[in-house]
Structures are given as C-alpha cells and as structure tokens.
A and B are shown apart, each in its own frame.
Chain A
Amino acid sequence: MANALRRIMLSEVPTIAIDLVEIEVNSTVLNDEFIAHRLGLIPLVSDRAMDMRFSRDCDACDGDGQCVHCSVEFQLSVRCDEDQTVDVTSADLISSDPMVVPVDVALAAARTEGFDSAENKGIIIVKLRRGQELRLRAIARKGIGKDHAKWSPAATVTYMYEPDIYINEDMMGSLTLEEKISWVESSPTKVFDIDPDTHQVKVVDAEAYTYDDEVIKKAEAMGKPGLVEITGREDSFIFTVESTGAVKASQIVINAIEVLKQKLDAVRLSEDTVEADEQFGELGAHMRGG
C-alpha cells in the first residue's frame, strides 16, 4: 500500500497545466514549440483539479477541451519598446479563472509584497529585445503525471520503515562518558544524544536514522556488540512528500488516497461477469462434489 500511494502521488494525482498554445505573434529568439513547452512546465495552482473533468471525457464540449468544466484559458501579450531587455514571466499570463494561476504568482499575492522584490519576478519564459513581441492564447487542462511529467504534483516522494531503536541500558551503563560521546558521534545523523545531567544516552530523533549501521559497527568496534538493536517496523512508514506547489503536500497525500480508492472501485467485478460465472455454478458444484 505504501508503494502504491507513492506511485500514485508521483503519477496519478491530477493537476492543471498548460496543454494547448495558440501563438498569434512570436518574434522572440525562441521558436513556438520551445515556448509552448516552457509554458507547459509552469506549475499552476491545482486545488480545483480533483473536481475538474478530463477533457477527453467532458460531454459539455464534445472533447475539444475548451469549456469551463475542463479547461482554463490564459492570455499573454508582451512587447518590448525600450532599449533594455524585457522579461516575459509567469506573471504576464492572464488567467480566465482566479483560482488557477501560476503558483509563484499566487504565493507573491499571498505575501502582498507583489513582484517588486528583486528576487521574485515570476518564472521567466523568454527575454525580449527592442521590437520583439510575444502574443499567445493558452489552454490549461487537467491531466496526470503518467501522461506527461508536467502534470505531476510531486517533486519527490519517498518512504522508509519507521525505525524501532532499542538501547541495551545495562551495557550502555558500563560505558564511560568519553565512550558514550564517541559512540553518539559515530552516527552520521543526529539520532542519539547524551543527557547533560544523568549522562544517559537517549534517542532524540528516531526518524533521522538512515539505516546506515554506523552505530552498530561502532559498538562492535568498541567490543560491545548488541549495545543497540535497530529494526524497521514493517507496518509503519515515514513518507517524505515534496510538492511542486501545484497542490499542498498534505493535500497530495489525501488526493492520492482518494485516487487509489477510485482505482480500486473501478476494478470491482462487473455484474455480468458474476452472472456469467453463476452459470458455471452447477459445473463447479459438480466438480467439487466429484
């Protein structure tokens, strides 16, 4: 189940991304396809995606994918008339739906400082010199990462077994403070620490353990095998989910559970399959009886 959820988060949780671009004027240095590809990769706020329809099974628009149920339209029109280069960025995309905007624009709006700050000017699409112009219309659609990676809501998803760390207190008590310190420091990640008052070794962050076995090797090198025992719990997982910004990381997990439920529901046996088998029932009973 853990791996199924990981796979779904990466490739089957829907998001919205630009899928169709009609270029009206393009006198920039980049060709049309190049710009269309760059537009597709811009993450858009996709909280609406779970309720939207896929263009291919939208009956309101005969699958041409241009109605409000399954698409969002963007306009972009920038022209450079000065001697300095002008950046065309995601902030120049004008959306027909205020819910669906490039994620960096949404974040900047939330911070209220807008695009004035030097480091946040939006995602650059192309740069224009004097006299160059870019004018286009783009359609964003719902899709999944299996179709094209631009629809994937997650940058990375990993999981690990939750570690069970057991310290042999008797053996630990027989160590000197220096030995304890050198043992605690043998772990590449900060999993253990020493209590400053009682000098007891305790686990401060079990999740930081990377199953590197360094502390176990150290204990053996110190002549104390069995000082600590670490096992992975096979019924408990720690997930790390990094979002592209299109959907909140916590929401990706919830959506993935929902998608898996829908997938399982789709693979239920249909009524006619069950009926067809019941006709075999007598034969089956005969076989069992015989």
Chain B
Amino acid sequence: MTNAPQRYERFVLPEGTKKVSYERDTKIINAASFVIEREDHTVGNVVRMQLHRDANVLFAGYKLPHPLQYKIIVRIHTTSQSSPMQAYNQAINDLDKELNHLKSAFEAQVEMMKQPGDY
C-alpha cells in the first residue's frame, strides 16, 4: 500500500501543468492531437461524439493511454474548410449550448412534477 498513488491524483491538476495541450501533426495538414490532463472517458467520449457530428471532421478519436496516466488524447483530422482547433472549439461550444437547453428543459419538467416532501 505504501506506493499506491494518492486518490486525488486522479482529478487534481498538479501545479504548473496545462489542462489542455495542443500538438499539430507533422505529416498531415489539418490533423492534431489534444492532450487533456486529468480527464477520462466522461469528457473524451462526449467530445468525440460531438466531433463526429461535424461534417468537416474526417477523423475524431480519443484514447486513455493507461489507467494510471490520468490523461486522455483526442485526435482530430479535418478537411481544409476547418482546422482541428476550430472543430474542437466548435464541439465544446455546441455541447455547452445543448447542455443549457437540456438543463432548462429538465428543470421546467421537474417544476411541473413537484410535490412536497419528494425524494
């Protein structure tokens, strides 16, 4: 047990580390990888699925390199109409909008169903 990693290391970003780093592919234009620190399938999959809805994205995938390396790598390849960075930002903005919509729709429904003393 002495060499077990601390539990918080799974989700606390160490000081001086960047949350997201960007690396352009050297061989293919409009291809890049994003390394996201301290995230897992929760964010990886949701971003990937959103990127798949973008017609300019030719490839989007993510991987969790190792269960004890608390980071994911998102790889994006786009057409020349877009760029990986643009597609990535667009995906996050669209997801944010979708979540805002979901939240207000859900709250409205909860308000309608409300009964005192519910659990």
Q: Residues on A close to B: CB < 8 A? A: 1, 3-4, 7-8, 12, 56, 107, 110, 144, 146-148, 243, 245, 248-250, 253-254, 257-258, 260-261, 263-270, 273-274, 276-277, 280, 284, 287-288
Contacts and interface: CB of A to CB of B under 8 A. Distances in A.
30 contacts: A4-B46, A7-B42, A12-B42, A146-B7, A147-B7, A148-B7, A249-B119, A254-B103, A254-B106, A258-B103, A260-B42, A260-B46, A261-B103, A263-B39, A264-B47, A264-B96, A264-B99, A267-B39, A268-B89, A269-B89, A270-B19, A270-B20, A273-B18, A274-B85, A277-B22, A277-B24, A277-B85, A280-B24, A288-B29, A288-B80
Interface of B: 7-8, 10-12, 18-22, 24, 29, 34, 36, 39, 41-43, 45-47, 49, 80, 85, 88-89, 92, 95-96, 98-100, 102-103, 106-107, 110, 117-119
Nearest to A260: B99
Q: Which 9 A-B pairs have the closest CB atoms?
A: A4-B46, A257-B103, A250-B110, A7-B42, A4-B42, A273-B22, A261-B99, A287-B29, A147-B7
Contact of A110 (B10, B100, B107, B117): B117
Given A3-B45, A12-B42, A263-B43, A273 B99 contact: no
Contacts of B39: 263, 267
A253 B85 CA distance: 31
A174 to B, nearest CB: 41
B95 A264 contact: yes
Contact of B92 (A110, A147, A267): A267
Nearest to A284: B29
Contacts of B80: 288
A36 B22 CA distance: 44
Given A258-B103, A269-B22, A1 B49 contact: yes
Contacts of A56: 8, 12
A282 to B, nearest CB: 13
